[in-house]
Amino acid sequence: MASAIAVRATQLGRRTLVLTVDPAKRLATALGLELGSDQDHRVPLTNVSGELSAAVIDSKKVFDGFIAKHAQQADVVARIMKNRLYQQMSTTLSGSQEFTALERLLQATESGKYDLVVLDTPPTKHAVDFLTAPQRINSLFQDSITRWFMSPNDSSTGFFGKIVGRGTRVALKSLETLTGAQFIEELIDFFAAVRSVQSVLRERSERVHQLMTGPQTGFVVVTSFDAAKLMEAKYLQGELDRLGYRLQGAIINRAFPEGVPDHLLEAPDNVDPQVYGKVLDFYKQFKEYHSVRYNLYEEFSKGLPSSVKVVRVPEYQRDVYGLSDLENLANIL
Amino acid sequence: MQATKQAAATAWKGRKIVFVSGKGGVGKSLVAAAIAQEETRAGRKVLLAEIGDTSYYKDFWNLPHVGHDPVATKAGFDIALWNGESCLREYVLFYLRLQRLYSLFFENKVMKSLINVAPGLNEIAILGKITSGVRKVGPPMHYDLIVVDCYATGHALALLQAPKGMMEAIKFGPMGHHSREMEAVIENQSICGYVVATLLEEMPVVETLEFCEKLKTQVGVDSSVIANKILSLPVEEAQLNQLKTQDPRGLGEFAKYLDAIFDRQRELFALLEKSVSRLARVPFIFSADPEVLVKKTGEALRET
């Protein structure tokens, strides 16, 4: 859906970039994306006045690039890259995706190359983690906190050093009891190493937060005709509101297509009445099933502020195979 | 090459833990609930564990509250909602024993921030809880089976890989030890089963196949695939095609719609059949009633 929004913006003449974390293969092929490249690719759309680019976010590359750029000294870069927790964080462990996606978003908006950047976020449960990532990163890399994890070799303070309050000392000691000395050592090394980039990290996370809460940024919730999914979307809407983000649109996917008008539901003479009856019963069952969902959707739509645009995308849309399918979807949007 | 066929239920029959994942929106929570119900019906004591900060089942079953501690459902199994912080809290309280120390730990600003962003800590805490019964670590859990309504595919893979990542980084001490134990449980397929739910649509199917492949190569486990919401035609395909031309402005329109879905389903089901060894189908269920949905999905899984 993020790609279709980007195509629509391109149709409207804007220079657009769509950033995605984990695209399906055919969609990636359609957009000309190469996994692991992390480069912006021009997508060959014809008959549009704008320009469309697309990129897959490669967490490891973004992370390593960020460290290499901001740590400045080669030995510091090497130390961070060597830290085993950093290696795990920037490759296999989740949690880093939020940071790298937001960093990539900021880079793209600051490049001046695009009028619109569309970021495909993870599904709902992780979307909230995603939205709070700037504050979480900011709170962790405050100087007052990283100081607690300074190296024991640092003569001014040291781990469990003088500046640590008694409460923190006890809490850290408890963590050491539970996880072991090696884990704590790696943590100390991790925080000591990233301390050199903490001011940049803090500054970047503040800028991301400003960007995300600013008037130039809007959020679009994609949901479907399903009670629980609509409840999830409602929850996300509440979270967006609470965190100061602006919801601008809701896309309801897999809506039942417009039904057949009642006056046309009469068996023509040339049709086997038994066949017609069976298909008609099935159609009625289908229509009833979707009308229940339609009521839920109505309820959901009424609960949204009037500034939020709601779009229904019909069920009969076939799968997105290529650019022409994306353009069809964009036309509906 | 076509793999030897096995029943999809191999993923949960006789297992102690089953992880259910899938692309967002394909019905994985429903499949997880149906497995929980079927195994309860078979006489096992089952916990359905949700992972995350918000409960899907709370609204699904209109329950007053779903939190870390299990609550009973009308269906006969229990439900709990686990996240990194709640699992770590329980673990810390269990081992530190002293409430005062525990409060100090969690009310501390450093700890709060650290738990949120320390690499891998959340994942290890959640997997630690899921596997704690089998590993006999922490508070006892009296369940024969834990059905985990896991994250969607990408995050599920990160969760399942966390112990391996952690044990490579931390070899010694309790963290290294627990990570090795968790890894051994996750890889042991007589203990853990893996289920991937999908719709018969292009993107979910492609994502399912990629995820199954990664489970195999990166986690070292086999998985069962559940194809959800499969439509059956009310008449023969030829009759449907005839209706399309005989009544093009009326019911023929609906026939066209059904035929397109049916073609897509057939093509994608064949692709799954060719690629996975354990495959089950769940029909499209014309109901919004959670009890009906879970019951009928369970019945379909029973026949696999």
Q: How many domains would you assign to chain B?
A: 1
Q: Do A93 and B165 make contact, defined as CB atoms within 8 angstroms?
A: yes
H/E element, A224 = strand A219-224
The radius of gyration of chain A's CA atoms, rounded to the nearest angstrom, is 25
Residues of B in contact with A272 (CB under 8 A): 239, 242
Structure confidence at residue A151 (pLDDT)? 47
Residue A196 and residue A104 share a domain: yes
B214: its two tokens: 């990664």
Give the integer Cα–Cα distance in Å for A40 and A20. 11
CB-CB: which of A25, A140, A276 is closest to B206? Answer: A25
Tokens matching residue A272: 């086997």
What is the token pair recorded at A306?
């009037």
Q: Quick one: pLDDT at residue B116?
A: 64
Same domain, A93 and A169: yes
| Listed residues A217, A242, A272: the one ending a domain | A217
> Are B258 and B231 in contact, with CB atoms under 8 Å apart?
yes
A266 assigned to some structural domain: yes
Structure confidence at residue B17 (pLDDT): 98
Pairing of the two strands A41-43 and A51-56:
antiparallel
Q: How far apart are CA A182 and CA B174, in angstroms?
A: 9
What's the domain count of chain A? 2
> How far apart are alpha carbons B32 and B79 in whole angstroms?
11
Asked if the structure places residue A313 within a domain, the reply is yes
B171, B203, B240 ranked by CB distance to A182: nearest: B171
Hey, what long-range contacts does B297-302 have (CB within 8 A, 24 or more apart)? Answer: B297/B30, B297/B31, B297/B33, B297/B34, B297/B228, B298/B34, B298/B35, B298/B37, B298/B38, B298/B41, B300/B34, B301/B8, B301/B9, B301/B31, B301/B34, B301/B35, B301/B38, B301/B226, B302/B9, B302/B38
Where in the sequence is the domain holding B17, given as residue range(s)?
8-231+276-302
Domain-located, residue B12? yes
Q: What is the pLDDT of residue A23?
A: 61
Tell me whether residues B52 and A125 touch, CB distance under 8 A.
yes
CA distance B211 to B23: 9
A330 and A205 in a common domain:
no
Within this chain, do residues A121 and A148 fall inside the same structural domain, yes or no? yes
- SS3 (DSSP) at B281: strand
Q: What is the phi-psi region of residue A329: left when phi exceeds 0, alpha when psi lies from -120 to 50, beta otherwise?
A: alpha
Residues A244, A207 share a domain: no
CB-CB: which of B24, B171, B257 is closest to A257?
B257
Answer yes or no: is A242 within a domain: yes
Q: Tokens 């803090």 appear where?
A: A202
**Same domain for A226 and A210?**
no
Residues A83 and A162 in one domain: yes
Closest residue of chain B to A281, computed from CA coordinates: B234
Measured between beta carbons, the chain B residues lying within 8 angstroms of A94 are 123, 155, 158-159, 162
**Residue A20 within a domain:** no
* Other residues' Cβ atoms within 10 Å of the Cβ of residue B260: 12
For residues A71 and A122, state if they share a domain. Answer: yes
Q: Does A94 reside within a domain?
A: yes
Asked if B174 and A180 come within 8 Å (Cβ–Cβ), the reply is: yes
Please report whether residue A85 resides in a domain.
yes
Is B33 within the bounds of a domain? yes
Under 8 Å between Cβ of B110 and B78: no
For residue A319, being part of any structural domain is answered with: yes
Please tell me whether residues A156 and A298 are part of one structural domain: no
Residue A167 is nearest to which of B104, B159, B172, comparing CB atoms? B104
Task: Tell if the CB–CB gap between B158 and A93 is shorter than 8 Å.
Answer: yes
Q: How far is Cα A218 from Cα A198, in angstroms, rounded to an integer?
A: 28
Q: Is residue B150 part of a domain?
A: yes
A61 and A208 inside one domain:
yes
**Do both A212 and A225 map to the same domain?**
no
pLDDT of residue A318: 59
What is the block-wise mean pLDDT of chain A (333 residues), using blocks of 10 residues? 90 92 65 69 86 86 84 82 76 64 90 94 69 70 61 47 58 76 78 78 86 91 75 81 88 72 80 92 88 79 85 68 78 83
Find chain A residues with C-beta within 8 A of B113's C-beta: 136, 139-140, 145
**B262 domain residue, yes or no:** no
State the Cα–Cα distance between residues B259 and B262, nearest whole angstrom: 5
Residue B193: φ, ψ to 5°: -120, 160
CATH code for position A307: 3.40.50.300
The answer as to whether B268 is a domain residue is: no
A290 lies in which domain range? 220-333
B contacts of A227 (beta carbons < 8 Å): 59-60, 288
Beta strands A309-314; B192-199: pairing state? unpaired
In a domain, B259, yes or no: no
CA–CA distance, B106 with A269 (Å, rounded to integer): 76
Does B201 touch chain A if contact means CB atoms closer than 8 Å?
A: yes
In a domain, residue A51? The reply is: no
User: Which chain B positions have a beta carbon within 8 Å of A224's beta carbon?
Assistant: 25
In angstroms, what separates the C-alpha of A282 from chain B's closest C-alpha? Answer: 7
pLDDT digit string (tens) for chain B, length 304 residues: 344 567 888 899 999 999 999 988 789 999 999 999 999 999 999 999 999 888 889 888 888 999 999 999 988 999 999 988 889 888 877 876 666 666 766 676 666 666 666 667 788 899 999 999 999 988 888 999 999 999 888 889 889 998 988 888 778 888 889 999 999 999 999 999 999 999 998 878 988 999 999 999 999 999 999 999 999 999 999 999 999 999 888 899 889 888 988 999 999 999 999 999 899 999 999 887 888 999 999 999 987 7
Give the domain-ending residue among A190, A217, A244: A217
Q: Are A175 and A314 part of one and the same domain?
A: no
| Exposure string for B32-70, b = 16+ CB within 10 A, e = fewer | bbbbbbbbbbeebebbbbbbbbbbbbbbbbeeeebeeeb
- Output the domain CATH number for residue B44: 3.40.50.300
Give the Cβ contact number of residue B142 at 10 Å: 9
**Residue B19 included in any domain:** yes
Residues of chain A contacting B25 with CB distance shorter than 8 Å: 123, 224, 229, 253
- Please report the DSSP string for A29-40 in residue order: HHHT--TTT---
For an interface test with B, the pick among A80, A85, A92 (most B C-beta atoms closer than 10 Å) comes out as A92
ipTM at complex level: 0.81
Shortest CA gap A145–chain B (Å): 6
